[in-house]
Amino acid sequence: MGKNSGAEKHSTAEEDKLPIHDHLEELRWRLIKCVIAVAVGFVGTYAFKERIFDFLMWPLIKVLPENSRMIYTSLPEAFITYIKVSFFAGLVLATPVIFYQIWKFIMPGLYPNEQRYVVPFMLAATALFLAGAIFAYSVVFPYGFMFFLSFQTENISALPAMKEYLGLVMKLTLAFGLSFELPVIMFFLAKMGIVNPQRLRQSRKYAILIVFIVAAILTPPDVFSQIMLAIPLLILYEVSIWVTRFAGKKSRE
């Protein structure tokens, strides 16, 4: 009975396989839907661009000296920055749609009993991305900006520009948001048989090295930001070991 069930699953997966051209066409349409979702988010948030930027500035405003303000150094800089703010807000709002399109793209390669994970996948992926973004905003930004401002002297004052500030915030937010997706990624790698709990435990010392390298690449060139990204990643790596164990049990069932 078990053999027949396994054969049925295998044949179902084989039937769902598509030629490479069809895969590329499917990917194109998934990307188009993601772009549309981001565009809708962009249009919906543009009217609130000033409020969104004020919200993003708040961690810096709290640690800036009194009566300090942000500047822009070229005439179109403020306008372009607000365009980027709306795009960034639209991207964040579109994350559930983006994760759903990712799921729909990989779903044909899954067995029928695995395809039912669409709702847990969307919820987990969205929640982890938002958790990473919130961690960056509420923990990393205040202490990180305080560190950067500590280099001010009587003769040197910080005059943060809108463009550079938004670029830094977007980079860090996306870096933390995507890094927090590690358990979800490990879940699917375990489902595909690429990783397992034993292999992850044995590779822990290499993972620590890789985590600090990734943190150094994704964050500004200061030790504080790198450590603040590396610590959650190491915790998430340990969580991923448990997740792969759970995925393995589900696969056997």
Residue 219 has φ and ψ, to the nearest 5°, of: -110, 165
pLDDT in the model for residue 14 = 45
Structure confidence by residue, pLDDT tens digits, 201-228: 888 888 899 988 888 887 776 777 788 8
Q: What is the DSSP string of 162-206?
A: HHHHHHHHHHHHHHHHHHTTHHHHHHHHHHTTS--HHHHHHTHHH
* Residues of the chain falling short of pLDDT 50: 1-16, 252
Structure confidence by residue, pLDDT tens digits, 145-158: 888 888 888 888 88
DSSP secondary structure letter of residue 65: P
Pair 176, 236: CB distance under 8 Å = no
Percentage of the chain with pLDDT > 90?
34
pLDDT in the model for residue 114 = 67
pLDDT in the model for residue 4 = 47
Pair 195, 251: CB distance under 8 Å = no
